[in-house]
Amino acid sequence: MTTATLNKTKMEKPKQWLVNVSDVSDTPIEFTKDLLITVFKKSVGEAESLALTIRRNGTSLIGVFSKDIAETKIEIANAYIDHHKQYMVATMLPED
C-alpha cells in the first residue's frame, strides 16, 4: 500500500456536538446548578460558574459530546426542566 492509499483509509474522527443550556426567564440559580450537577455531572464549582454565565448571558456552552451522548443528555435535561416547570432549554449544534 502506498502512503496516499493509507491516508485515504484513515478513519475520520466522529463529529462532535456542542450542548448549550439557555434560560428564557430568571430560573433560580439553585435549580440551574442542580441541573448541571445531576444531568451533566459538573462539579459544584463548575456548576456555579456555568449557572452565573447562564444568568448573565441567557445561555452557556455546557459541553462537547458525540451525537448520541449529546442527544441523550438533552433529552434528560429537557425532561428534568419540564418536570420542574422551569423555562429553560437544552440544545445541541454541530461543532465546526
Which pLDDT belongs to residue 13?
Answer: 80
Q: What pLDDT was estimated at residue 96?
A: 82
Please tell me the predicted confidence (pLDDT) of residue 11.
76
Read off the pTM.
Answer: 0.84
What pLDDT was estimated at residue 12? Answer: 77
Q: Are 39 and 80 in contact (CB under 8 A)?
A: yes
Give yes or no for a contact between 93 and 20, defined as CB atoms under 8 angstroms apart: yes
pLDDT of residue 65: 97
pLDDT at position 3: 55
Domains and CATH numbers, the chain: 26-94 (3.30.1390.10)
Burial class (CB in 10 A: 0-12, 13-18, 19+), 57: exposed
Q: Which residues of 59-85 are buried (b: 16+ CB within 10 A; e: fewer)?
A: bbebbebeeeebeebbeebbebbeeee
What residue ranges of the chain have pLDDT lower than 70? 1-9
